[in-house]
Amino acid sequence: MFNDLSRMGKYLGQAARMLVGMPDYDTYVEHMQNTHPDQPVMSYEDFFRERQEARYGGGKGRPVRCC
């Protein structure tokens, strides 16, 4: 029973992050290890920063936007 609750909590957390535009880091790591084993995996901080820049702009010469 607790295994099912734990799994449900994980999926609800992933869904909540996706709703606010923040992909799940664990899913990213799993994808990189399975699909691109020859490439390095970003740290959580780098992953978070890259996702924020992709969503809100800024960095790499792009202007920062709020909406």
62 in a structural domain: no
Question: What CA–CA distance (Å, rounded) separates 35 from 49?
Answer: 22
61 in a structural domain: no
17 in a structural domain: yes
Tell me the two tokens of residue 64: 């920062």
65 in a structural domain: no
The number of distinct structural domains making up the chain is 1
40 in a structural domain: yes
Residue 37, judged by CB atoms within 10 A of its CB (0-12, 13-18, 19+), counts as: exposed
pLDDT of residue 64: 60
Provide the domain limits for residue 11. 2-56
Question: What CA–CA distance (Å, rounded) separates 46 from 2?
Answer: 33
Instruction: Give the CA distances from residue 11 to residues 7, 18, 29, 37, 38, in Å, rounded to whole numbers and listed in that order.
Output: 6, 10, 16, 25, 28
pLDDT in tens, 7-54: 888 778 777 767 766 678 888 999 999 999 999 999 999 998 888 887
64 in a structural domain: no
